[in-house]
Each structure stands twice: as structure tokens, then as C-alpha cells.
Amino acid sequence: MESRKEGMTPADCPVLMIVLNDVEHDNRVLKCAKQLRSLGHPLTIFGVSSDRGVDQPAPKMIDGVLAILFPNPRFQIRNAPSRALNWEAHIAMLAAAMSGQFDQNAPAILHTHDFNTLKIGRELLFRAREQGRHIYWVHDLHEYVAGLTSIDDEIRKRGVQHQDECIRIPDQLITVSPHLADAIRRDYRLRIGPAVILNSNGSDSYNPHYPETIRKKLGLSDQVPLAVYTGGVAPPRGVHTLVETLPLIPEMHVALVTNNSGDYVNSLKYFAERNGCASRLHITPYVPPDEVPSFIQDATVGVHPMVHFENAEVALPNKLFDYCIARVPCVVSDCKAMGDFVRDWGIGEVFCAEDVEDLARALRTVFTKRIAYTARLDSESSFVKAVAWESQCQRLAELYERARSEIRRGLEQDNWAGLTPDGKARETTAPVRPVARPAAAFSLAVVAGAPRPTASSTFPSAPASPPEAPEPVYEGPADYRGALVRVDGLDIVGWAADFNHPGRKLKIEAFYREEKIGEGRTGLPNEDASKEGGEIAGFRLTLPMYFLDKKARRVTLRVAGSDIVLAGTPRNIAFDPAPAA
């Protein structure tokens, strides 16, 4: 690296990207990689193979980029009793496996993606510095991990722990939305928050002459209202809310562009059949990511009905930008970042998450005022220019130009971004502890009369809401008890209490095949005849819509953050519809 001090060009700075998936289906990783290659950086991606037969690192060209896919630890080791320990073991195995290839690759810049690569990045960074090699580290935060309640709770906690330990070590943080950048800056009291690179497609992904658009594929005339949803179909995405509007808008068709199948998708089909709407629900497979805007361009509206959970409040999903680049108005749920985005730019309507009637209202509004929304989505508008991938590429290029300057300056001074020459100063400083994360810590207040965003500011952030009071701290061990009382349609009713701390509110989680499928909190009237646990120890939680297929599934209820299983579970639960009136 010493020979690279003069005139650090992209060719002098090889980049190593790391992501713990098969790379091929990670559009953000590939878009960033191709942009960096176009700037002149030699680049390799380390990923993880989805092929059980891969038993050693395997090179593969993916979309013109060299990837090295490592054996997947889940095919190699027996699962530990704890899912969190299993997750930690997978990361440790991959860090060890990647270290040898990392030495051979000898990158100048390490670029890691998502929360599960933070510890790998840290280990490789300090490995290089112990060998006297200077490495500049870029980390891309894809999710608000503290609010990622859609994954296993113990894994989420381990992910937050990794982030707590590592967040200040990278030289540059980037992320996917202004709200997420602001949440990270506040949580960790960072002087400068992560830079924002939106997860959008390029404007060239819109081809007005695309041969088979979604409307043509489905054989629908231009007069038929068509609502489209693209991407993963799962309960947190709220797709059931969209499907449930079909009986309310009898002229509308709904198209889901997805490769997903299974219980949840079957429940959507079951609902449509049960309500006489099966012919108006269409499920069509993915097209290549850079063709999505062209494919959906003649839809009437693009919908994202995501439900409320903490990570959802700071997310700006890439489907939102696909709709915009396709010149398709948006209807989105009132998750904070997404709702603000649509309202501020006037490109669609916002509805209350999981409120079917309000979604139907929003859809009808767009159907009648569509021309007004599409006018703001014209290809020459400042809005489309601001969000398209070309603008994000410019920001990425600027960050990497800064990285090359830092590398050059660090080499000249024999110092590295404030580290001592042995590269260990940050690791030995006082431990970094984030501020408390109350439930609304990441929420941004709406500023009355706030000015319309401009292309230069892109997405101005509003001031933070005052934090809620923290939950009380309970001394001494807990004594959790509880039981399932009854099943009411898709709802589970039960009670739970901490007998050592009467009045404490508990979160109860439902699991099916070790996947969390629902949660609820105590504080409702206790419907157990004995009233054990107190009068307000009751809870109610709702099962996913795929239980509507009436198949029996073995469900377990646990007190969150513990191994305590509620009495009466595991239990086989099948949807039992109320008798017809």
C-alpha cells in the first residue's frame, strides 16, 4: 500500500464487499458493486452459497462482478438449542473462512452490508492492521436492528449487541433512508450520521416500449383499475390488507409480483376464493430487478401496505422508488418514513396500516385523481431526478473519493482516521453505549407548514419527538406464569403475569416452527375463570392470515425474553370460523 501514496486513483484501491447471502438476488449490493467498478475500482464480493453441495469457496461471475461464495454454515453444523447461539456460530465460521481469502484479496477498502457482517468486518479490519496494512472500512446499514421485530427476538438482541460494539469502528457509515440515518445518529450520539444512499433503480430502468407490461400479461384493458404490489409477500408487509379490499372495490384487480409461495400466500388465495374475488387476484413471478419499473408502468397504482413495527417506521423500501420511476402513483400505509415521503412529494395517498376500509378510500382517491399524481412523476421532474439511482451513484462516488483522500492522508501521516499506527486505539477506548431506545425514539414529528422538499435537500428531516418515559426497572428474579385460555377465530386469548412483580406488563410471543408469528401484551381483562395473575393479566394476539386455510399448526406461546412456555401450549390450532348467521 505504501507505493499507493501518490495520486490515489480508483485502480489503486481494490474494494472487497461482504454480504451474507448468495449475492445474485441482492439488488442493492450488485448496484453498488457495478457503480464502483464503473469508477475504476477493482472489486470482489464475498457472499454465501445457497447450494448445499458447495464445500469450499467458489468463484462465480454475477452480473459482470466477481463473487466468491463460501460454504453455508447452516449446511455444515448441527443446530444449537439456542437460535441466537446458532446465528453467532454461523458468523464466527464465516469470519474464519473468509480470513484467508481476505489476505489474498488485499483490499484497500472493505465494504460490508447489513448487521450480520459487522463482527466479520471488525475481525478482518484488525487482522489487516495487525499485519501493518491500512484498510478503510465502509459499512452499509440496511435495517434499524433495534426495531427489527419481524426476526427472532434473541437474534435481534445479538444483532443490536454487535452494532453496539462495532458501530464507531467503520470509517464511513451509509444507510438506506434519512429516517434510519437520523435514528442511528441519535441512538449512538454520533456527531455525523450515516450518509444516505437510497435503494432505487436507475431512470433507464423505465422503458415506455417494454414489450410485455403487467397489464398486457394479465390481459386487462386500460379501463380496469389495477393495483400492483412487488416484492416479498409476508405478514409484516401487510399484503393481506390489500387483498381484503377486493370485495370493497369490485371493479379492481390486484397483482402481486412475487416468487413467494407457502402458507401466507395460500391464505391470500383462500380469502379471495371465499369472497368471490379469485379471478381478480393475480400472482405473477419476478422480472429482473432493473426491469420492474418497465413491467409495472401501466398499473393504476402501486401499493405498499406495510404494518407497523419499529424498523418499518424508518424504511423507504425499494418498491416505492420502482413505483415512482414507473410513473405509477403510490398508496402506502402510515409507517412514518414511507408516509412522510408520499405526503411531502404529493405522489399518492396514505392510509392507516391494516385498516381495510381506509386503504379502499385511498385507492379510490387515486383512481379518480390519478392524472394529478402522475404529473409529479414526470421523467423531467426534480423528484424523479432526486430519487433515481443516478443521483445515488453520484453520492456513492463522492464518498469513495473521500475514502481515497483519507487513505492517502493516512498513509502520509502513518495514522489512520484518528487511530494510532497499530490500528487499535478505537478498540481500546471506553466502551460505547447507545442511548436508551424507547419505543418512539426513532419517530420524527411532523412539522406543521414545513416547506416542500427540494432536489437539493431531497428529504429534510423533522425534529425528533420527545422520548417516552422508560419502562420501570424490576429488581430480583421474575416468576413468570400464564396460560392459553381460548382461541377466538384468528385470535389467541390468554393470561400471563410475573408473580414476583405484580402489575408488570409482559410481551407474549407466538411461534410456529420456531418462527415468531404474532405477539401481544398483557393489560387486558383476564378471561381466565380463576383470575390467576390478576384482573388485567389478560392478552390477545392475532395469528397470521394463512391460518384461514383451516390446517392445524402447532403453536407455542412464550414470555418474550425468556424460555417460559405458557400452559396449554404447544397446542395444535386450526382456524374455526364462526357459524354462519
- What is the CB-side half-sphere exposure of residue 112 using CA atoms within 13 A? 29
Together in a domain, 187 and 285: no
Number of Cβ atoms within 10 Å of the Cβ of 230:
29
Q: What is the DSSP letter of 528?
A: S
Together in a domain, 264 and 327: yes
418 residue type, one letter: G
Enumerate the H helices of 106-144 as residue ranges: 118-130
Determine if residue 568 is left, alpha or beta; phi over 0 gives left, psi from -120 to 50 gives alpha, anything else beta.
left
In a domain, 96, yes or no: yes
Q: Give the chain's domain count.
A: 3
CA distance 487 to 497: 19
CA distance 575 to 543: 9
Together in a domain, 162 and 15: yes
In a domain, 555, yes or no: yes
In a domain, 275, yes or no: yes
The pLDDT score that the predictor gives to residue 62 is: 95
Residues in the chain: 581
The residue among 400, 396, 357, 377 whose CA lies nearest residue 296 is 377
In a domain, 336, yes or no: yes
- Helix 178-187 / helix 336-345 crossing angle, nearest 10 deg: 140
Domain edge (last residue) among 428, 457, 492? 428
Together in a domain, 350 and 411: no
Together in a domain, 194 and 209: no
Number of Cβ atoms within 10 Å of the Cβ of 403:
22
Assign residue 542 the CATH number of its domain. Answer: 2.60.40
Evaluate whether 111 touches 173 at the Cβ level (below 8 Å).
no
Together in a domain, 418 and 512: no
**C-alpha cell recorded at residue 574:** 386450526
Burial code of 474-509, b = ≥16 C-beta within 10 A, e = fewer? eeeebebbbbbbebeebebbbbbbbeebeebebbbb
Together in a domain, 111 and 182: yes
CA distance 156 to 148: 7
DSSP string, 318-377: HHHHHHHHTT--EEEE--HHHHHHHHHHTSEEEE-TT-HHHHHHHHHHHHHHHHHHHHTT
The pLDDT score that the predictor gives to residue 472 is: 65
Together in a domain, 186 and 235: no
Pairing of the two strands 491-498 and 507-512: unpaired
Show the domain range for 156.
10-200+390-428
Domain edge (last residue) among 339, 359, 379? 379
Assign residue 367 the CATH number of its domain. Answer: 3.40.50.2000
* Phi, psi (degrees; rounded to nearest 5) at 115: -70, -25
Together in a domain, 241 and 217: yes
Evaluate whether 329 touches 304 at the Cβ level (below 8 Å).
no
Evaluate whether 383 touches 377 at the Cβ level (below 8 Å).
yes
The residue among 4, 31, 3, 38 whose CA lies nearest residue 17 is 31
Sheet containing 515-521: order of strands? 515-521, 507-512, 553-559, 571-573
**End-to-end Cα distance, the chain:** 78
**C-alpha cell recorded at residue 375:** 404529473
Give pLDDT tens digits for 230-277: 999 989 899 999 999 999 999 999 999 999 988 899 999 999 999 999
Give pLDDT tens digits for 398-418: 999 999 988 888 777 765 543
Together in a domain, 307 and 411: no
Place of cell 459499512: 139
Q: What is the pLDDT along the chain (581 residues), one digit of tens a residue?
A: 444 445 579 999 999 999 999 999 898 999 999 999 999 999 999 999 999 999 999 999 999 999 999 999 988 776 666 788 889 889 999 999 999 899 999 999 999 999 999 999 999 999 998 888 889 999 999 999 988 887 888 899 999 999 999 999 999 999 999 989 999 999 999 988 999 999 988 888 899 999 999 999 999 999 999 999 999 998 989 999 999 999 999 999 999 999 998 889 999 999 999 999 999 999 999 998 889 999 999 999 999 999 998 888 998 998 999 999 999 999 999 999 999 999 988 999 999 999 999 999 999 999 999 998 998 887 666 777 788 899 899 999 999 999 998 888 877 776 554 343 333 333 323 333 333 332 322 222 222 233 333 333 333 333 343 344 455 667 778 899 999 999 987 789 999 999 988 888 899 999 988 888 888 889 888 888 888 888 889 998 888 767 776 788 899 999 998 889 999 999 999 877 653 33
In a domain, 4, yes or no: no
In a domain, 196, yes or no: yes
Q: Any residues with CB less than 8 A from the CB of 317 and at least 6 apart, and which?
A: 199, 231, 304, 306, 338
Q: What's the mean per-residue pLDDT of the chain? A: 84
Evaluate whether 462 touches 445 at the Cβ level (below 8 Å).
yes
- The strand pairing partners of 254, in sequence order, are 227, 281
Together in a domain, 194 and 215: no
CA distance 422 to 430: 18
In a domain, 258, yes or no: yes
In a domain, 451, yes or no: no
Domain edge (last residue) among 316, 344, 379? 379
Together in a domain, 230 and 263: yes
The pLDDT score that the predictor gives to residue 449 is: 31
